[in-house]
Amino acid sequence: MKNLRTHGKSTIVWLLLGLMVLGLGGFGVTSFSGGSSSVGSVGETPVTADQYLRALRNQMQSYQQQTGQPLSMAQAQAIGLPQAVQSQLFTAAALEEQTRKIGISVGDEKVRQSILEAPAFRGPNGRFDRTAYGEVLRRERMTEAEFESAIRVDESRMLLQRAIVGGVVAPQPLVDTTVHWLLERRDIAWRELTADQLQAPIADPDEETLKAWHSANADRFTAPEIRKISYVWLTPEMLAPEVQLDEAALRAAYDAKAAEYQQPERRMVSRLVMPSQDEALAAKARIDAGEISFEDLVTQRGLTLEDVDLGEASKDSLGDAGEPIFELEQPGVVGPIQTNLGPTLFAMHAILDPVDVSFEDAEEELRSDAAMDRAVRMIEDRSHDYEDLLVGGATLEEVADQTELELGQIEWSADSASEGGSIAGYQAFRDLANALTQTDFPTITQLDDGGVFAVRLDEIVPPMLKPFEDVREDVLEDWRRGEAHRQLLALAEEERLQDTAAAAPQPEPAASTGAGGVVENPAVTPDAAPVAEPAASASAWVEVPELTRDGWVEGVPPDVVARAFEMDAPGEVEVVDAQDRVILLRLDAINEADLEGEDAQRVDEAVRSRIGESLSMDIFDYYARAAQRSGGLEINQSAINAVNTQVQ
């Protein structure tokens, strides 16, 4: 019922609380005539412009947080977001109008409890904070009386909503039918037909056939749109050779990484705190006797190995446990040792040798890293100068002449390879290249390694069908694949008929009595028709028992499983054409669902819940629509347009 509750609480109070949770307080909502302007109403219950504006901005912000992308009003309208918000608000207004007519209301204690439980009004101690309550309402330009009235109205609506959908249960026959359908299992067999099973090799076609194939499948032989782009760029790697570093700077970098270059001998250690000394001694005795491993003991205590892992530890960091752990010459368990946490067992998993890298040994690495860091800072400092040149009207060629940026050209298409060492290897360039227009001015854009670049779209070469002469070999290879596939489908249909006939039960002919009362064997009569057999080159059937509807078959496309559950009766054979492969599929048995296992109970509960929720939603939607019609729904489109314009 969670969705129903959300649907029913699309009023100002719950939108307000949502704003607080999302951190949108103080968004700066402009009031339309103090909230008196209406975008519509149901009977005597209005939907104010402030309500609509606040709800719309809330939903747009929520969408942005979920997708990580900014959402403009035009985009929101394209996906129907304003219409969805309006639907929620008018549904809430219809319910409010019904509660007013019926006389449903809640008492002061219920209003008080709702406010005390609202997360937006809690202080640092997790309890209701009067100051936070007042600050939130002040920021949203609401008085306490207005807010508490909205709470009362909302809780009254929820009483009505619960009365509408309360007691709705899924019909048992529908649940049973659905569970049986979901848990049904099937025995199948499959075999794939390949080109080596064709009776003759594929003969090459004439030129006219190839040219017709080229034209009929133009999409496969069309060059993509090409964008001819000029760019300037500079990366830290390009600038690093020019960076001058003195020994003092390198020494400082070495000292900053002393913990990396100078490390004492360490051990990989886990720590398991035991409830008592006696239990610790007993556990250690069991480990020593080989009755249980340290890992199993951890699991037995209800913990995971991550819970007890200390990682790399030096002797000093282990305190009293350091000496016995470092005396071990191979992995083992020591203890119990008394720690500030109690009696503890320590497991040593690996010995890590000390690290002692001198300045001289680390100098080359330090110089490379320091040069790259310095280059990043230099590029960052100079980026404003590069941008000023472009803003001042300098072309990319002029920027390359006057700065360290390097000029380049690239013919870019959406399916161009992401080559390392090339500007095309950077996602920032790829994103910009796809969206670039010839009216865009070059601007400095950051690369993820600290570099910068700017681009200019010089020309767009539209998609073009490649001349037949240039792609003749590709066309021939494509035709061969297509022809082989066509012949395999024809062969598969022939073998399907043979396999179906072979799988069908054969009627036993009645024995006939010949002259003298001798019974003749019909199996040896000269006119008996031979039973069709599959081709000698046919691959063997691969049997798959107990296939589930959500299962998979190794080595075949998912379409095979879907088709297996569309077949009607055992013995049927079908041809599956999927992912350029031709597969014969045979249904061997349909097995009834097992309704006694844990999976069946879980599925039954899920189906019952889903159907019940769906029925509740349908009933609620029907009631809400009827309430809008009977209450008199009116929509002020001009006011809605005014709000939409403000959100632009």
DSSP string computed for 496-542 = HHHHHHHHSPPPPPPPEE-GGGPEE-GGG-TTPPPPP---TTPPPPE
State the number of CA atoms in the 13 A half-sphere of 465 facing the CB. Answer: 13
pLDDT at 509: 57
CA 449 to CA 372: how far, in whole Å?
10
> Which two three-digit tokens encode residue 478?
């494509």
Q: For 124-257, where are the alpha helices, taking DSSP H only? A: 130-139, 144-165, 172-183, 207-216, 236-239, 247-256
* φ and ψ at residue 12, rounded to 5 degrees: -60, -35
Contacts of 620 (CB under 8 A, 6+ apart): 4, 7, 8, 161, 164, 165
Residue 374 · residue 245 · CB < 8 Å = yes
Instruction: Count other Cβ atoms within 10 Å, centred on residue 536.
Output: 6
278 by Cβ neighbours in 10 Å (0-12 / 13-18 / 19+) ranks as exposed
Q: Which of 491, 475, 518 is nearest to 577 (CA)?
A: 491
Give pLDDT, residue 213.
93
Residue 505 to residue 72: CA distance in whole angstroms: 66
Give the pLDDT score at 97: 84
Check residue 20 and give its pLDDT.
Answer: 39
Listed as ranges, residues in the chain with pLDDT below 50 are 1-36, 512-536
Averaged pLDDT score across all residues of the chain: 79
Q: Which of 344, 336, 321 is nearest to 273 (CA)?
A: 344
Q: Does the N-terminal peptide bond of residue 463 adopt cis geometry, omega within 30 degrees of 0?
A: no
Structure tokens at 429: 């360039």
Closest CA to 161 of 275, 6, 40: 6
Q: What is the DSSP string of 79-107?
A: TTHHHHHHHHHHHHHHHHHHHHHHT----
φ, ψ of residue 188 to 5 degrees: the values are -130, 170
Question: pTM (2 decimals)?
Answer: 0.51
- The pLDDT, as a whole number, for residue 370 is 65
Report how far Cα 427 is from the mean position of its chain's Cα atoms: 20
Structure-token pair, residue 112: 């008080």
Read off the amino acid at residue 451: G
Cα–Cα distances in angstroms (integers) from residue 524 to residues 167, 396, 529, in the given order: 71, 92, 10
pLDDT of residue 244: 60
Question: Kind of pairing, strands 309-314 and 445-446?
Answer: unpaired
